[in-house]
Amino acid sequence: MRNLLFLLPLAYFISNATAADEAFPGIEKLMSSEEFKAAGLDKLSEAERTALNAWLLHYTATEAPTMLITNEDVKEVEAKHVIQANVKPPFKGWDGNTVFYLDNGQVWRQRLNGRVVYQGEDTAVEIKKNFLGFYKLYHVASGRSIGVSRVK
């Protein structure tokens, strides 16, 4: 079971997909090639990968949401999860109603009041969940942060 804990963040990702018409990408696309090989999944036949994808899709829809709330190991992994990305230009800070479009395809909206003006070139950000379960976006270059919520 502990060896399968690496699948839980993947299940969380899948369960939070917002576009209804997006096809399930399969485990091979959800993991890096290094993770895929390290887990030994490259040795599976096509039929075995198909069965694993079907199981993961079912697990995500039925059990993963509960595990995110009730399982301490899952909570610990989720708490340590940090999203690292770059805000797509132009990035001039935030003004109280800012939407952040990230280069990884995610979209986040400012959820707290605040204003920061930034005139530099560095758009690197980290998004972390705080102990109350809310997300904060940290702009690496300025050291400033703001509460955000995920849109996509």
pLDDT tens digits, 83-118? 999 999 999 999 989 999 999 999 999 999 999 999
| Confidence label for 18 from pLDDT (cuts 50, 70 and 90) | very low
pTM over 0.75: no
Output 44 or 61, whichever has higher pLDDT: 44
CA gap 135, 130 in Å, rounded: 6
pLDDT at residue 86 in the model: 97
User: Cβ contacts of residue 124 below 8 Å, gap of 6+?
Assistant: 84, 85, 86, 139, 140, 141
Average pLDDT over residues 3-28: 56
Exposed/middle/buried for 115, CB within 10 Å: 0-12, 13-18, 19+?
Answer: exposed
> Is it the case that residue 23 has pLDDT exceeding 90?
no
If you search the block for the tokens 């003006």, which residue do you land on?
117
pLDDT at residue 71 in the model: 87
> Is it the case that residue 3 has pLDDT exceeding 70?
no
> Is it the case that residue 56 has pLDDT exceeding 60?
yes
Q: Is 96 left (phi over 0), alpha (psi -120 to 50) or beta?
A: left
Encode pLDDT of 115-146 as tens digits.
Answer: 999 999 999 999 998 877 789 999 999 999 99
pLDDT at residue 69 in the model: 81
pLDDT at residue 22 in the model: 62
pLDDT at residue 20 in the model: 43
